[in-house]
Structures are given as C-alpha cells and as structure tokens.
Amino acid sequence: MTQAQETNAMHALTIRLQDEMFALEATNVREILDPVPITRVPNAGAFVGGLINVRGNVVPLADLRVSFGMDRPPADTDTRIVVMEIELDGEPMVAGILADKVYDVADIEAASIEEAPKVGMRWPAEYVRGIGRRDDDFVIIPDMQQIFGARANPAANSN
C-alpha cells in the first residue's frame, strides 16, 4: 500500500453500538463471531469484564459501550463479537469487541474524516480519533490505543 492510498481512505469495518456507527481498522480484524459464552471476571470492571474462548485461546472481551457511556442491553440476534488485534503499550494483543450489530467493510475517504470537536460532543474526546462520513451518516473512529491504554491494569494491586 502506498502512502497516497493510505492517506486517502480508511479501510474500515463498520459496526453499531447503541445508535451510533463506529469504524474499526479492518486490517486488524481477525474474525467476527456469533455470541459465545462469556466468563465473568470478578472485580475487573465493566469495560473488560469478561473472557471468551477463541479457538482455544483465552481472549478478553471489551465493551466499548462502557467507554462511551452507552446503555448495555443484553445480547440479541444482531450481537456479534469482533476479534481484533490491538496494540497496548507497544505490545500487540488480541481482544474481542462486543458489537450490537456488524455492518460491512467500507472505505472511508480521508477527506471526509474530521478531527473530533473538543467541545460539544456527547463522547469523551480523548477516545475519538476522528469523525468520518459515510453516505449521509457520521461514523465515529474510536482511538483503540487510548481506550485500551486507559483501562489496562485498572485494578492493579487492588485487593
């Protein structure tokens, strides 16, 4: 991929969280799963409160709705888990991302991506890398490193 192409478009997997559309970096996505049994991790906090089995590996399950202060209705027929690679403190790791619905893979034109406004946004600005536009809808591009970085070791040395 050349520099020009890279800056031109974001290759994105679009998902729905509550009523908002989010764009995840598609190249980091490993697979999309139907809901699987989730093991609760006591005292881990709601953001990564669970573990799932992905092909014999134990993978933490993250709920971005917690980071964005959204409602968390129980899973329904549209619920999916997006398994993707995330860089945390410079180390790659695999995590599951809960999605209320998975749409499709799309290119989001770079030209349409704007920086998140510092004020007046419903979402925590530090978790938003930018706002893109797809057709007539806004797409939130979450800053995964920020989101996961903030939550790493939430309960370190607790209890």
Partner 1 sequence: MSNIDPTEVFRQEAADLIETLEQALLDLETRPDDRELVGLAFRALHTLKGSGAMFGFTAVSEFIHEFETAFDRVRKGEAAVDGRLIAAALDARDHVSRLIDDPDYDPERGQAILGALKIAVSGEAKASQVSEPLGTSSQPAPATSEAAAGWRIRFKLATDALTLGSNPLLLLDEMRGLGPCEIVADASAVPPLEEIEPQHSYLAWDVTLKGPVEREAVDDVFLFVRDDMELTIEPLAGDDDVGPAPVAAVQAPLPAPPKAETTSTAEQQETGPVAAEPRAAAAQPAATTKAERNATLRVPAERLDELMDRVGELVIAQARLSQLAETIHDPSLVNVAEEIERLTSSLRDTTMGTRMVPFGSLFGRFRRLVRDLSEDLGKPIDFVTEGEDTELDKTVIEQLADPLVHIIRNSIDHGLERPDTRAELGKNPAGTLRLSAKHRGAEVAIAIRDDGAGLNAERIRRRAEEAGLISAGQSVADGELYRMIFQPGFSTATQVTALSGRGVGMDVVKRTIDGLRGSIDIDTVSGQGTTVTLRLPLTLAIIDGLLVRVGADRYTIPLAAVEECVELPEGIDAEARGRSFINLRGELVPFLKLRSLFGAENEPDRFQKVVVVSSENTRVGLVVDQIIGNNQTVIKQLSSLHSGLKTFSGATILGDGTVALILDVMHLVGFGQKIEERRRAETLEKAA
In the complex with partner 1, which residue's Cβ is closer, 41 or 125? 41
139/132 Cα distance (integer angstroms): 5
In the complex with partner 1, which residue's Cβ is closer, 91 or 104? 91
Shortest distance in whole angstroms from residue 127 CB to partner 1: 16
148/87 Cα distance (integer angstroms): 9
Where do the H-state alpha helices sit in 1-156?
3-8, 64-67, 144-151
Shortest distance in whole angstroms from residue 56 CB to partner 1: 6
Residues lying near partner 1 in the complex (CB under 8 A) are found at 36-37, 39-44, 48, 51-53, 56-60, 62, 88-89, 91, 93, 95, 148, 151-159
Residue type, 139: V
Shortest distance in whole angstroms from residue 82 CB to partner 1: 16
Cβ contact 39:59 at 8 Å: no
The HSE-up count of residue 127 (CA atoms within 13 Å, CB side) is 18
In the complex with partner 1, which residue's Cβ is closer, 58 or 105? 58
Shortest distance in whole angstroms from residue 154 CB to partner 1: 7
